[in-house]
Homo-oligomer: A and B are copies of this chain.
Amino acid sequence: MITITIIGSGKVAYHLICNILESDKCTIKQIYARNPNALPSLAPLNKVVNDISALEPADVFIIAVSDDAIQSVSEQINVPNQFTVHTSGTKDMQSIVNTTRKGVLYPLQSFSKQKEVDFSLIPFCLETSQTQDFELLEKLACSFSQRVYKISSEQRKSIHLSAVFVNNFTNHLYTIAQEICQVNQVPFEILKPLILETAQKVQTLDPILAQTGPAARNDLQVIANHLELLQQKDQKQIYQLITNSILKHHV
């Protein structure tokens, strides 16, 4: 049984706790949460501490706090030689400063507390400073997920950047589409099957091969009509820039 101490009460901490509670391979040793009300209702309250110096050794400490707080939180941990990981996509492993046994356990997913998450489908990116700790972290991650990857800090940053494109930016394109629908009194709902199909298609087909649309077939007339339809300056610029980029890739 891997004993895990969770530090934090944000979205990642929340889902980690939920999944550890359901696991038969790991168990919660302690939870350090400044805001215990934010924890899942099933969290074992007798294991929650609000004084970081009350933490005892465990197999792994998981720091699941905001990126900017990782270093200062790790400085306050006072357990000698404790194997400690963070869960950030952007921060170096070296942000953990209290120990030489450090690592990263980065779940590549966008979490919200309202929605249950199936950890088994989430890719986990793993990194450790000490070879012998990698095995333990891998065992832990594999108890949650079928998709576990050994990823360096540099690679992890590029994954986080790619994730911004496929998640945050894509979602913003959905937002723009909804705005266009609203202006023209069309239900956004009508686009939902296409949104899903677009994401499903690249599960098996390379995106470069899945590309369709006016820019991919160099249909300058449709592009001109679309630019005329777009009233909003930012929308026009985004349309123009992505269209030009598609033209360069495909024409």
Chain A contact residues, CB within 8 Å of chain B: 67-68, 90, 108-110, 112, 115, 121-123, 125, 147, 149, 151, 154-155, 157-178, 180-181, 183-187, 190-203, 206-208, 210-216, 219, 221-222, 225-226, 229-230, 234, 237-239, 241-242, 244-246, 248-249
Give Cα A147–Cα B238 distance, bound, in whole angstroms. 30
Q: When the two chains form their complex, are residues A194 and B164 in contact, meaning their CB atoms are under 8 A apart?
A: no
- Given the complex, which residues of B lie within 8 Å of A172, measured CB to CB? 207, 211, 242, 245-246, 249
- Given the complex, which residues of B lie within 8 Å of A226, measured CB to CB? 160-161, 164
Give Cα A207–Cα B176 distance, bound, in whole angstroms. 9
Q: When the two chains form their complex, are residues A178 and B199 in contact, meaning their CB atoms are under 8 A apart?
A: no
Q: When the two chains form their complex, are residues B200 and A168 in contact, meaning their CB atoms are under 8 A apart?
A: no
Interface centre among A125, A169, A202, A206 (most CB of B within 10 A): A169
- Given the complex, which residues of B lie within 8 Å of A178, measured CB to CB? 162, 206-208
Q: When the two chains form their complex, are residues B195 and A199 in contact, meaning their CB atoms are under 8 A apart?
A: yes
- In the complex, given contacts A162-B177, A162-B180, A170-B173, what are 5 additional A-B residue pairs having Cβ atoms less than 8 angstroms apart? A155-B186, A161-B230, A163-B177, A172-B242, A195-B202
Give Cα A167–Cα B212 distance, bound, in whole angstroms. 8
Q: When the two chains form their complex, are residues A222 and B67 in contact, meaning their CB atoms are under 8 A apart?
A: yes
Take A164-B214, A166-B174, A171-B210 as given contacts and tell me if A192 and B202 are in contact as well, using a CB distance cutoff of 8 Å. Answer: yes
Q: When the two chains form their complex, are residues B115 and A175 in contact, meaning their CB atoms are under 8 A apart?
A: no
Take A200-B196, A202-B171 as given contacts and tell me if A177 and B165 are in contact as well, using a CB distance cutoff of 8 Å. Answer: yes
Contact of A234 among B158, B215, B216, B245 (CB under 8 A): B245
- Given the complex, which residues of B lie within 8 Å of A215, measured CB to CB? 168
- Given the complex, which residues of B lie within 8 Å of A212, measured CB to CB? 110, 112, 167-168, 171
Take A90-B222, A201-B115 as given contacts and tell me if A207 and B175 are in contact as well, using a CB distance cutoff of 8 Å. Answer: yes
- Given the complex, which residues of B lie within 8 Å of A175, measured CB to CB? 207-208, 211, 249
Q: When the two chains form their complex, are residues A166 and B159 in contact, meaning their CB atoms are under 8 A apart?
A: no
- Given the complex, which residues of B lie within 8 Å of A123, measured CB to CB? 190, 193
Give Cα A186–Cα B238 distance, bound, in whole angstroms. 27
The closest CB in chain B to the CB of A207 belongs to B174
- Given the complex, which residues of B lie within 8 Å of A149, measured CB to CB? 187, 190
